Structure 1
Amino acid sequence: MIETTSKYNNPIVLQRADPWVYKHTDGYYYFTGSVPGYQEIEVRRAKSLNDLENSEKATVWKAHAEGPQSQLIWAPEIHFVQGKWYIYFAAAPSSHPKNHIFQHRMFAIECGDENPLTGKWEEKGQVKTQQESFCLDATVFEHNDKLYYVWAQKEPAIPGNSNLYISEMENPWTLKGKQLLLTIPEYGWEKIGFLVNEGPAVIIRNNKVFITYSASATDGNYCMGLLWADADADLLDGYSWTKSKEPVFKSAPENGQFGPGHNSFTVSEDGKEDVLIYHARPYTEMDGDPLDNPDRHARAQVFTWDESGFPVFGKPIANNR
């Protein structure tokens, strides 16, 4: 059963869309997300999710004055891979301001120090895919001694804004081998406003690899879908994957939460419960350009699993702070 109240003070962090939380072996939750203005990457950490709003934080990277990493710094994710910290993010060039066609590419930065808030970060450059086209929302995961990369990208030959892809990695900033198209927007709930599959996040449980993703425009129609494969399957074989025909997490007007999505996964402070991290808006009507409106807030809620071993997310719960 999904609990209707929360142990977390929602929202857990104000004005941070695309929230990413990683709980490290040092007991800290490391948090990052899109910073309003989209010109920097901020990392914060705390020993509890409720403390993230007022926790220690640091700006670890700033947009360049010009060039391919100078505009619209979106959806950073912090990971600890092969003994080092990595942040993956999307950035647009200075020659393409936000009122032009988006031209984002994906980039990685690396930190070898113990504390990523105070450590030195090094740019590893663009994470290049087989196509040079709009791409964003990269995530990584390790499974069966392999490192995988999942991301959203525009395919010129496929109608729509972005699809999801997966590839194995040679190292944490370089892809290798086959790049598999995982999913395209095909159902009605994935094509409202924009034809979008983006914001993938991976959780491995119950002998399955699950990938959640977000679909449709970033208004009240934004919602989450689900892909899954057996844990021992070839993850680069399209036949290994199944896709839910319905969204698994969507707006809850009765709780005042709209457009939930762009999620990540973590565990509770005692490690006994799985926790969904996501953003949502507290209303549907907004003034001006949604990009300039920092009204999406980071949220956390416990979720459960059904008898078949699938996640049960329930619905976005009401604010309690």
Structure 2
Amino acid sequence: MKLYYLQIILLFTLSLGAQNTTFTNPVLPSGADPYSTYHNGYYYYTNTVGNKLILWKTKNLAELENAAHKTIWTPPETGMYSKSIWAPEFHIINGKWYVYFAADNGDNNNHRMYVLENNAEDPFKGEWVFKGKIAANPDRWAIDGNVFEYKKQLYMIWSGWEGTVNGQQNIYIAPMKNPWTLDSNRVLLSEPTYVWEKQGDLNDANNPPHVNVNEGPQYLEHNGKIFIVFSANGCWTDYYSLGLLSLEGDDVLDPSAWKKHSKPIFKKSEENGVYAPGHNSFFKSPDGTEDWILYHANSNPGEGCGSKRSPRMQKISWNKDGSPNLGIPVSEDTTLQIPSE
């Protein structure tokens, strides 16, 4: 009898330590603009919270609900970066941690990009130091900054306005002098041109008076080929989707070197119950053999840009021409294997 109880205790203990090998989407009940960075065996994950910056730490992104998390920065009560903290991204550059985010003073017209720095090996430790605003030339409305290195040069891509009036969001790029300073005038890479980038309902008084949006740019490299995946259409519409820019030349600052694909590469699936999929990021499996997409989406039509957007993830593949094949957003009933370890 004593041996029997010892076996029960052992089995119970093992079950507590076991990691689930499958999961279903969403991986959190709420969380827009998901982003992750893999470092020293852990995924460091974040999403838009709105009034602060929160960082999650986990070995398995499918278990975010049980992951350790920490508020690493709370904005001042007033000032130009005190409100609407959007789309944070954590990057490791030259051995230091940086978090890029958009913020304003309560007036959306004043949204700009900002950055914090941390020298610690583990971003849960050390001190997050406010480095300041990342201003382009000209200094215009800016959100959704993404930083990447190409041919040993650091660049930032983001979504911004051409002028000072909210009428259209474009994708811009600029080289960086250092992780907190842009080094030249901004360059326009993409603006909404195709019909699929301009879908939406202008007759709804509760929605902004425009639907021409390119935002959430994400740098992606595979086998030497360079891409930018971006979100198109207003997030308040079910038509929110992902588009693709492919680098056809060598100069990332040359707009003519980029080709925009004529159709979206990831869009809503009414059959699977996934609406307005977008504002994505990419990550690799722990063993480096698989490529995955993180994105947010709604579970029902008409849920817009609010708290019902939830983070989801699924494995992607690659087309014969080297471009990413994101597939179709999977249903919440689909059981998926966790990223390969």
- State the match for 1:222 in structure 2: 240
Aligned length: 303
Residue 192 of structure 1: how far off its partner (Å): 2.1
- State the match for 1:312 in structure 2: 325
Residue 133 of structure 1: how far off its partner (Å): 2.1
- State the match for 2:312 in structure 1: 299
Residue 71 of structure 1: how far off its partner (Å): 1.1
Classify the secondary structure of the residue corresponding to 2:271. helix
State yes or no: 1:73 paired with 2:85.
Answer: yes
- TM-score (ref. length: structure 1): 0.90
- State the match for 2:73 in structure 1: 61
- State the match for 2:4 in structure 1: none
Letter in 2 for 1:228: S
Larger Rg, first or second structure (1 or 2): 2
Residue 238 of structure 1: how far off its partner (Å): 1.4
State yes or no: 1:17 paired with 2:24.
Answer: no
Q: Is the CA contact 2:136–2:184 (under 8 Å) kept in the aligned structure 1?
A: no
- State the match for 2:268 in structure 1: 251
Residue 214 of structure 1: how far off its partner (Å): 0.2
Q: Is the CA contact 1:179–1:236 (under 8 Å) kept in the aligned structure 2?
A: no
Q: Deviations over 1:162-200 (max 9, x none)?
A: 100111100001011242210001111111231100001
Q: Is the CA contact 1:249–1:315 (under 8 Å) kept in the aligned structure 2?
A: yes
Classify the secondary structure of the residue corresponding to 2:183. strand
Q: Is the CA contact 2:269–2:328 (under 8 Å) kept in the aligned structure 1?
A: yes
- State the match for 1:88 in structure 2: 100
2:157 pairs, out of 150, 167, 187, with: 150
Q: Is the CA contact 2:141–2:164 (under 8 Å) kept in the aligned structure 1?
A: no
Give, in whole Å, the separation in 2 of the partners of 1:285 and 1:239: 37
Indicate how the Cα distance of structure 1 residues 115 and 238 shifts in structure 2: closer, same or farther if over 3 A, else same.
Answer: same
- State the match for 1:3 in structure 2: none
Pairs within 5 Å for 1:1-321:
7-24=22-39, 26-35=40-49, 38-94=50-106, 96=107, 101-156=108-163, 160-193=167-200, 194-218=211-235, 219-230=237-248, 233-286=250-303, 290=304, 293-320=306-333
RMSD: 1.8
Q: Deviations over 1:80-110 (max 9, x none)?
A: 111111110000114x2xxxx5421110011
Identity %: 39
Indicate how the Cα distance of structure 1 residues 144 and 7 shifts in structure 2: closer, same or farther if over 3 A, else same.
Answer: farther
Q: Is the CA contact 2:273–2:299 (under 8 Å) kept in the aligned structure 1?
A: yes
Give, in whole Å, the separation in 1 of the partners of 2:23 and 2:323: 23
Classify the secondary structure of the residue corresponding to 1:254. coil
Letter in 2 for 1:12: V
Give, in whole Å, the separation in 1 of the partners of 2:23 and 2:132: 37
Which ranges of structure 1 fall in alignment gaps of 5 or more residues? 1-5
Q: Is the CA contact 1:8–1:300 (under 8 Å) kept in the aligned structure 2?
A: no
Q: Is the CA contact 1:8–1:301 (under 8 Å) kept in the aligned structure 2?
A: no
Which ranges of structure 2 fall in alignment gaps of 5 or more residues? 1-20, 201-210, 336-341
Give, in whole Å, the separation in 1 of the partners of 2:295 and 2:23: 13
- TM-score (ref. length: structure 2): 0.85
Classify the secondary structure of the residue corresponding to 2:196. helix
Give, in whole Å, the separation in 2 of the partners of 1:130 and 1:34: 26
